[in-house]
Structure 1
Amino acid sequence: MIHVSEFKDLAQLTIHKVGNMSQEEPLICSQAPLQLEDEMIGQLLLTYFIQPFTNSAEYFRFFHEADIQLNEVFQYCRRIFEDKENFQEQSVNIAKHLYKHSTHPKIKGGELYIAYFSRCQVDGEDVEAIGIFKSENRDTYLKVFLSDDNYQVNYEDGINISKLDKGCLVFNVEEENGYQVSIVDSISKQNEAIYWKDAFLQVQRREDSYHQTETAVNMCKQFINTKLPTEYEMNRVDQVDLLNKSAAYFKEKEQFQLDDFANEVLGNPDAIASFKEYKESYQQEFQQQLPDTFDISASAVKKQQKVFKSVLKLDRNFHVYIHGDRELVERGYDEATNMNYYKLLFENES
């Protein structure tokens, strides 16, 4: 977990302008780091850079299919960590590397900020970090001021410090594994934004408890929704019941244990055997290794709550949310109307 309040020492900062290469926009690099003499500006920049990472628990690492040493951003960051005198030179290399990948027609040019933090706190440990941030969108601000005893209104073009477009924090830990990296990308769902994470940074998720929990949650959901119905006669209520039991397991347990989950949630020996076989095929299909035992990440469970939606959709007329005892829901068929129905049993209405 990243603690924003512990980013107190913005030791160095430099700013470059990175345009879109395919549109012949220029790359303009500063010759020296910025001299931050105004304490208020320093605090505003810290808010702009770090606030989007608040409570972030998902980490990545630099990688390269052939050799981690061939990952360019990894190399530039490593040189800065090794010798702070390299900061400006390597910041220019980072800007050139980003410019090389800024070729999609929809990629906007913008300011690239490279920052060095001599001390910050992540997961309770004090470490140094490098920040790579890009602003692409500008806002218009009204400026109200007093002139000759009358208030006047003007406007200014600027950057909204509450909206960081793209960001990356590289923590100086686990260098041999590609460092510990946290990422922000406000438009990551758009195809043209893939360049930030995949082309420019070249990162992949770390094999930690967050990633393992997220993978397990998705695997269990897929098994219940797609695999089980092909092997057993199951109605949607039974599926929702299993999703509820799965959600309760991840919320209440501190550790995932394959046999414990299978017995507690599935119960049926044949379903348990099918689940274990499905785990193996899931790992091969998505090329993700999932251990039989790992610590459950509460942050990952919270983020994945929507996966376990306990809703029963009936045509376009009703949505029934089922949170409790499955035995209080009965399914039937009405011959008079030739339609299915559900009977809900309860004691009190509110």
Structure 2
Amino acid sequence: MTGIDSVQLRDVIVHKVGNPTRSENLVLSENALTLNDELVKRMLTKYFLSSFNENEHYHFTHLSDLNLNEVFTYVTKIFEDPSAFVATSALLANFLHSKSTHARVKEGELYIALFDQVPLGTEYKQAIGIFKSENKENFLKVFTHGRSLEVISEEGININKLDKGCLVFRNNKEEGYTVCVVDSTNKKNEAQYWVSDFLQVEPYADSYHNTDKYLGLCKQFITNEYAEKFEISKSDQIDLLNRSMDYFKTKDQFSLDEFAEEVIHHADVVDTFKEYKKTYESVKNFEIEDEFDINLSAVKKQAKIFKAVLKLDRNFHIYIHGRKDLIEKGYDELTGKHFYKLFYDEES
């Protein structure tokens, strides 16, 4: 998240939440932190907020009634009655403890924070943050001992790496608020207790969500399903990845029918892609629309992980950005090795 210089950190409290299946306890603080040190407040604000993607928005959900979503209810209580901050934070910690039963869930510190002046688009909103630190790192501390300097190792938290976070803006309450989420650990489906079990949030079906998820779908289909179902060379896979990304970079709107005609081409591959989309949506537990406005922020994010790299043994990595017609693949019977022939105008 950018533009956090204006953010005011009002209250923070820390609890310790363990995994009950390993007999790890829940330790509750009686009081909020004393925030007299401005440097500590700035460090905490940076630690809490800098990892969020402000373009990717979620909202609280429930199968029958939104008011039965525990985190939604507790957050609403704090928004409406800040004097209940400490008591309600304990309820949040208890609820998280009850959901921390998966074998992969680690013990850690749970921070509940209340902020003012948090940027949301062109506005500034009050927000509540729920953060959990699970991973510790070793740091070296240099100190004076008599007339010498000594070094000791201390365990602590890297403020540049937020493990889990949820930022709830006081906005769109009727729809389940506007929520940003971070989950840097336990990304496998079986361990997504933070998003699915504790927060119970789903992404808003906006242009960012649709663009981001469709590009993720394309990448997984091309690199996995396409290679399994059809005979395709690595260079052809990369070409399809490039054409997919180029479509999103050059178009204002996405249309599945147009994408299928201009990028995928072959009818049998199109049918396989559409079936894969249904499976992908079911596994990920969200839907992606077939027509939507393309969001450039989502395109830029996905472009960083669309690796158009052809790896040949351990000797060569070839970055392919386009012009598949300038690549020729062959086999040399004399050496018994495959080869690629590349045609170009200038060397730089």
Q: TM-score, normalising length from structure 2?
A: 0.81
Q: Is the 8 A contact 1:107 1:192 kept in 2?
A: no
Out of 262, 278, 285, the position equivalent to 1:284 is 278
1:70 Cα offset (Å): 2.0
Q: Bigger shift: 142-151 or 17-26?
A: 142-151
Distance (whole Å) between structure 2 residues aligned to residue 234 and residue 22 of structure 1: 47
Partner secondary structure for residue 3 of structure 1: coil
Q: 1:175-214 counterparts in 2 under 5 A?
A: 175-189=173-187, 193-214=191-212
Q: Find 1:89's aligned residue among 78, 84, 87.
A: 87
Aligned 8 A contact 2:19 2:106 in 1: yes
Could you tell me which residue of structure 2 aligns to residue 23 of structure 1?
22
Worse-superposed segment, 238-247 or 190-199:
190-199
* Mapping for residues 319-330 of structure 1, pairs under 5 Å: 319-330=317-328
SS in 1 for 2:142: strand
Match of 2:57 among 42, 56, 59: 59
Give distance in 2, aligned partners of 1:139 and 1:337.
Answer: 50
CA contact (8 A) 1:143 1:156 kept: yes
TM-score computed with the length of structure 1 as normaliser = 0.81
Q: Distance in 2 between matches of 1:155 and 1:228?
A: 49
Q: Are the structure 2 counterparts of residues 235 and 113 from structure 1 closer, same or farther at C-alpha, using a change threshold of 3 Å? A: closer
**1:328 Cα shift?**
2.0
Q: What SS does the aligned partner of 2:328 have?
A: strand
**Cα shift readout 1:254-287 (whole Å, capped 9, x = no counterpart):** 4323454345435x5xx3x667655653453324
Partner of 2:97: 99
Q: Which moved more, 1:199-208 or 1:104-113?
A: 104-113
Structure 1 residues 132 and 239, CA gap change in structure 2 (3 angstroms): closer
CA contact (8 A) 1:61 1:205 kept: yes
Give the match for residue 43 of structure 1: 42
CA distance in 1, matches of 2:137, 2:309: 41
The count of aligned residue pairs is: 343
When structure 1 is superposed on structure 2, of 327-336 and 81-90 the one drifting more is: 327-336
Letter of the 1:265 counterpart: V
**Bigger-Rg structure (1/2):** 1
5 Å-filtered alignment, 1:147-226, equals 148-154=146-152, 156-189=154-187, 193-221=191-219, 226=225
Measured at CA, do residues 94 and 223 of structure 1 come closer, stay the same or move farther in structure 2, by a change above 3 Å? closer
* Secondary structure of the corresponding residue to residue 52 of structure 1: coil
Residue 109 (structure 1) aligned to one of 72, 82, 107: 107
For structure 1, the residue ranges without an aligned partner over 5 or more in a row are none
- The answer to whether the 8 A contact 1:4-1:50 is kept is no
